[in-house]
Amino acid sequence: MAKSNVDVVVVGAGFAGMYLLHELRQNGFSSRVLEAGDDVGGTWYWNRYPGARCDIATTDYQYTWDPELFEEWQWSEKHAAQPEILRYAQFVAKKHDLYSGIDFEVRVEKAAWDDAAKKWSIHTSTGETITSRHYVMATGCLSVPKDPDISGTDRFTGDVYVTGRWPHEEVDFTGKRVAVIGTGSSAIQSMPHIAAQAKELVVFQRTANFSMPAQNGPQPADRRARLKADRIAYQSEARMSPTGVPMEMATVSALSVSREEAFSMLEKSWQKGELLQIGATFSDVGINRAANEVVCDFMRSKIHEVVKDPETAETLSPRGHAYGTKRPCMDTNYFEVFNMPHVRLVDIRKKPITSITETGIDFAGESQEFDAIVYATGFDAMTGAIVNVDITGKNGITLKKKWESGPLTYLGLTTVGFPNFYMITGPGSPSVLSNMMVSIEQHVEWIRDALLDMRAKGFDTIEPMPEAEEDWRVHCTDCADITLFQDTNSWYMGANVPGKPRVLFPYIGGVGRYRRICTEALQRGFVGFEMQGNGKHQMNPGPVRLMQPDVEMMLDAMAMLELPPIEAMSPAEARGFMDASATMRAPGPDVGEIVDGTFPGAAGDLEYRIYRPASQGPHPIVVYYHGGGWVLGSHTSDDPMCRDLCERADVMIISVNYRHAPEARFPAAVDDAWEALKWVAGNARQLGGSADRIAVAGWSAGGNLAAVVAQMARDNGGPALCGQLLLTPVTDGSRQSASYDENGEGYVLTKNVMEWFWNHYASTEDRKQVKASPLLAKSLANLPPAMIVTGQFDPLRDEGNAYARALSEAGVQVKRIQARGHIHTSITMVDMLPSGKSVRAKMASGLREFFVGK
């Protein structure tokens, strides 16, 4: 007799529920697993349509938690078909005696949190009520077929099939007139099988899809060999990879090679027959529309190669959505189907279906009779299965209500207001954008570890904190914002279900990054969670480290290069290294004109570079001081960012050089910066700018100089400045703030590099001077309006913020931008890190505002 009060109730006996059951048992937690079907397998139990196969190679789509399985189970193909995957699930369930822990043909109808008892109360379709401390939805992301939303579906008297609920017995279409509605993965896989039998097949397509041949056959030799040689290393690589499948990271932009070369690289990827390979051919397919279009062109050319009728080929060629923003498909002879004489393609954007009738389908003035209709119209993805159950949390709020405007979760695993409630591969986790096996195992292990830790520490309840949930929402949006996903109507965006909120449901920051964040949340003592139990109450607001995804990707790439630390170099070596790095960066946008010249510095001529907008002048002038710790760089070293600011703000940027340390130590750079400002102010008109509209700007050490000369201009009665833009500025060398400890290592500008810069520039005594540390000024009153930008993961963050605060307290108008998830150097990386774009846009609008009304 199954217990009606257990530690954990799990809904679903797919690969997630099965593994969780195993782990719960191993660790002494009592459980009930409730499954609607009459066997294990989840998605592979329900999706029995002909041709159903996994798109991820079997070397990668299998459990890793039981190493014996690698010997005990041999996959027959590279991409296993549904019956084989179901047999695998059954094999594992038998081997580990999982069947005994699962209640089949039981649906959960209602689950409610009892805040007094600190337990869940779960009502099932069999009339039973089970209570449990914890409640886990392991219901899968694509398990609730969506309503086809076509009028008359209930009228049809012929055979009706839904790919996601295919009959268990074989379906024979021989001699039948068949309609297939939809051209997603399920349709694309089943179509060749249906076409082979049917007397007549009409395919109703709303949106053409990208698909590539699966090239099925034996398991990929290279992957097999790597698995065999070092299984643990292979699995670790998968777990820390962007998608959960080990793959080389692309480093080349699709726009940096000729079209011929791009196509030849894509051809190599195509030949591999691996789902994720095409998109991984170039570094910018997911984030740059033009780069993505190269891939789209290649994919379309392949359709035209196969499909004989050019008009049909064109109808089958996706236009209007970027590759990868709708799930790309893998097929076996899909496009070939349309060369068969009994197959017809109907583009329902041109010939809309008006109604399903008793005998067939009416569309665009035609009435066609069918013996069978196959709905391959997709799923209410990610949230459908979760909110289909009436789940009520604290204070009587249902999850459905809470998620009305979009799912809110912390880490895609938990949600505020629903204590001890967990989702496996829920919205806000990589889930459908990853190899599901890797993601499932990670979530199961996270839940197991959380339960173990709670037991060890005597906590009864875990609930995410609202701040953590909000941080996660913002981070998920940050990640989505740099991609092309939001421009496409896809089920990833909830766009296939009328009325569903339009957000990117899965987390797109990558599997490895996600794993690190989840692990950090547990290892640092339940970061972002409120914990209670045994009279104890713990709140650990965190936050977990959430970086902009592109910034983190860059850090990962740099870590792989094992670059020597700057502080181990001589200044000359460091300058050479910086020059070499500059040749690899994107140039930045075009501006109206670039003019180089010289001006008289404090100890001789120095260079400047003018960036003039294309618009009619005279323009406001921004005197710009470059970054580089007073040791590195020149008037051209921040070229891309100067172009970007010039173009965005429509102002003239004059980037001026200054003498560098250690050859010319403090206050040489200040003296030159000051001379530059005076010279520009005195020559503004000749330079094509407005003499009464001048501001200063600078990055890092240049921000320090800009702040210093702004004070000097105030103290010396001019030049009059309209504003100061300080990007991650150095403001106080006399002491080090907490951000030096928090961010002192691993974010390019390290504590040691900063010390190296200071040591070259100024003595300990000199650092206490106001011209080295502008924060130490006796008064900051009457300075020009300031915009101060600080990076979250910058050692200089706190001193930039301190300067902003001090200016504000002194009555200076200050705008502060805290660049979320950014490091010291990332905001300046124009056209390389898309996440910096919005920060620079704000900087440009800040610059423009300096001059409003002037």
Does residue 207 bind ligand NAP (CB under 6 A)? Answer: yes
Does residue 506 bind ligand NAP (CB under 6 A)? Answer: no
Binding residue for ligand NAP, selected from 327, 443, 513, 815, defined by CB under 6 A? 327
Nearer to ligand NAP, 76 or 716 (CB): 76
Nearer to ligand NAP, 50 or 629 (CB): 50
To ligand NAP, the closest distance from the beta carbon of 489 in angstroms equals 7
Between CA 490 and CA 497 the distance in angstroms is 9
Does residue 431 bind ligand NAP (CB under 6 A)? Answer: no
Nearer to ligand NAP, 180 or 762 (CB): 180
CA-based torsion, 246, 251, 253, 256: positive or negative: negative
Does residue 62 bind ligand NAP (CB under 6 A)? Answer: no
To ligand NAP, the closest distance from the beta carbon of 150 in angstroms equals 5
Each residue 604-643 as x (binds ligand NAP by CB under 6 A) or -, in order, gives: ----------------------------------------
Does residue 317 bind ligand NAP (CB under 6 A)? Answer: no
Between CA 247 and CA 54 the distance in angstroms is 18
To ligand NAP, the closest distance from the beta carbon of 379 in angstroms equals 6
Nearer to ligand NAP, 148 or 688 (CB): 148
Does residue 54 bind ligand NAP (CB under 6 A)? Answer: yes
Q: Within 358-417, which residues bind ligand NAP (CB under 6 A)?
A: 376-379
Does residue 348 bind ligand NAP (CB under 6 A)? Answer: yes
3-state secondary structure 91-153: HHHHHCCCHHHEECCCCEEEEEEECCCCEEEEEECCCCEEEEEEEEECCCCCCCECCCCCCCC
Does residue 312 bind ligand NAP (CB under 6 A)? Answer: no
Among 26-34, 51-59, 121-129, 475-483, the segment contacting ligand NAP (CB under 6 A): 51-59
- Bond into 667 cis (ω within 30): yes
Among 143-151, 749-757, 759-767, 789-797, the segment contacting ligand NAP (CB under 6 A): 143-151
To ligand NAP, the closest distance from the beta carbon of 185 in angstroms equals 3
Between CA 140 and CA 543 the distance in angstroms is 28
Between CA 476 and CA 506 the distance in angstroms is 8
Does residue 500 bind ligand NAP (CB under 6 A)? Answer: no
Quick check: 754 and 853 in contact, CB under 8 A? no
The tokens 């209709």 sit on which residue? 373
Q: How far is CA 48 from CA 84, 209, 254, 290, 617, in A?
A: 11, 22, 38, 38, 68
Nearer to ligand NAP, 130 or 181 (CB): 181
Does residue 55 bind ligand NAP (CB under 6 A)? Answer: yes
Q: How far is CA 828 from CA 375, 578, 848, in A?
A: 50, 14, 18
Q: How far is CA 686 from CA 598, 618, 673, 683, 721, in A?
A: 14, 10, 20, 5, 18
Q: Within 144-173, which residues bind ligand NAP (CB under 6 A)?
A: 148-150, 163
Quick check: 211 and 190 in contact, CB under 8 A? no
To ligand NAP, the closest distance from the beta carbon of 330 in angstroms equals 6
Give the count of beta carbons closer than 10 Å to the beta carbon of residue 493: 21
Burial level of 592, CB count in 10 A (0-12/13-18/19+)?
middle
Total interface residues for ligand NAP by CB under 6 A: 28
Give me the torsion for CA of 280, 282, 285, 289, rounded to 10°. Answer: -170
Listed in sequence order, the residues at least 6 apart from 191 whose beta carbon sits closer than 8 Å to its beta carbon are: 51, 180, 201, 203, 334, 337
DSSP state of 785: P
Burial level of 748, CB count in 10 A (0-12/13-18/19+)?
middle
To ligand NAP, the closest distance from the beta carbon of 291 in angstroms equals 23
Q: Which amino acid, one-letter code, is at 614?
A: A
To ligand NAP, the closest distance from the beta carbon of 130 in angstroms equals 31
Listed in sequence order, the residues at least 6 apart from 416 whose beta carbon sits closer than 8 Å to its beta carbon are: 408, 410, 463, 464, 465, 466, 469
Does residue 202 bind ligand NAP (CB under 6 A)? Answer: no
Among 180-188, 439-447, 472-480, 560-568, the segment contacting ligand NAP (CB under 6 A): 180-188
To ligand NAP, the closest distance from the beta carbon of 43 in angstroms equals 8
To ligand NAP, the closest distance from the beta carbon of 201 in angstroms equals 16
Nearer to ligand NAP, 58 or 288 (CB): 58
User: Which two tokens mark 675?
Assistant: 């001379």
Does residue 78 bind ligand NAP (CB under 6 A)? Answer: no
Nearer to ligand NAP, 163 or 790 (CB): 163
Does residue 496 bind ligand NAP (CB under 6 A)? Answer: yes
Closest C-alpha to 494, from 551, 450, 568, 432: 432
Does residue 186 bind ligand NAP (CB under 6 A)? Answer: yes
384-407 per-residue burial string, b: 16 or more CB within 10 A, e: under 16? bbbbbbebbbeeeebbeebbeebb
Binding residue for ligand NAP, selected from 181, 372, 789, 807, defined by CB under 6 A? 181
Binding residue for ligand NAP, selected from 31, 59, 139, 189, defined by CB under 6 A? 189
For residue 315, the Cα-to-chain-centroid distance in whole angstroms is: 31
User: Integer distance in angstroms from the first to the last C-alpha of the chain?
Assistant: 83
Each residue 101-140 as x (binds ligand NAP by CB under 6 A) or -, in order, gives: ----------------------------------------
The tokens 């300096």 sit on which residue? 850
Binding residue for ligand NAP, selected from 184, 192, 733, 834, defined by CB under 6 A? 184
To ligand NAP, the closest distance from the beta carbon of 162 in angstroms equals 9
User: Which two tokens mark 63?
Assistant: 């459990």
User: Which two tokens mark 170?
Assistant: 């074989």
Among 52-60, 399-407, 770-778, 817-825, the segment contacting ligand NAP (CB under 6 A): 52-60
Does residue 439 bind ligand NAP (CB under 6 A)? Answer: no
User: Which two tokens mark 79?
Assistant: 């991409």
Binding residue for ligand NAP, selected from 245, 432, 673, 833, defined by CB under 6 A? 432
To ligand NAP, the closest distance from the beta carbon of 515 in angstroms equals 21
Residues that bind ligand NAP (CB under 6 A): 53-55, 142, 148-150, 163, 181-187, 189, 204, 206-207, 327, 348, 376-379, 432, 491, 496
